[in-house]
Amino acid sequence: MGIVTKNVNEVLEDIKKYSKNPEKVKLVAVTKYPNVGRPELEELMENGILNFGENRVQVLEAKRELMDDVKDKIHWNFIGNLQKNKVKYIIDYVCMIHSVNKLSLAQEIDKRAAACGRKIDVLIEINLSGEDSKEGYDLDEFYKELPEIMKLENINIKGLMTMAPNVTDEDKIRASFRKLREIKDELNEKYFNGQLTELSMGMSHDYKIALEEGSTIIRIGTKLYN
């Protein structure tokens, strides 16, 4: 059994163990690392992992080229900070953008999606830690811009994304994930009529806590390859 297979199986078991609704959880394999090449990606696919996550457009394009003959089987997720001028390069094939963090970006995605006849699934990224090193909406700013974002016809808001604070205190990490879930529930009640279904939260070091707090998408990188 390859190392990737072993690690994927472990994460899938953890999903069953820690999530209240394991059938709703997607594992997005983060593939940005230099040591992750075609053999690792093929091993992921052999294990049924077809959601790949990248946080830089240039690397996403390179990985897609690497998998050119099977690229249509893969669901490419953009999970990093997306610059407006880079949207055009990925808009015709990316399946979900996890990191909408300003109105101007949402408008650019909407415009580019309309031009190629698509409606793109997106998540709103919210910075709950207040850390400058993290991207994402300030919550007040998000509520201010939400009415305008909701007018955009070529983006489909599926849910929310966050990154936990950079601390070792598990209670603070848990509180951050719980807060995002509460925001999703509130938004569903006030604006979305239950249509927000996704919570993208949890990475290699904290995904078990995220699953306990209702994550539906975990973004796992280093744990899969070591």
Mean pLDDT of 191-201: 97
Predicted TM-score (pTM) of this structure: 0.96
Average pLDDT over residues 93-122: 97
pLDDT in tens, 109-148: 999 999 999 999 999 999 987 777 788 999 999 999 999 9
Question: pLDDT band at 218, cuts 50/70/90?
Answer: very high
Q: Token digits for 62?
A: 């390179």
- Rounded to a whole number of angstroms, the distance between the first and last alpha carbons of the chain is 14
Which CATH number covers residue 155? 3.20.20.10
Owning domain of residue 175: 3-225
Average pLDDT on 70-90 reads 96
pLDDT for res 31:
95
Helix (H) or strand (E) holding 90: helix 87-90
pLDDT score of 71? 87
For the chain, what is the domain count? 1
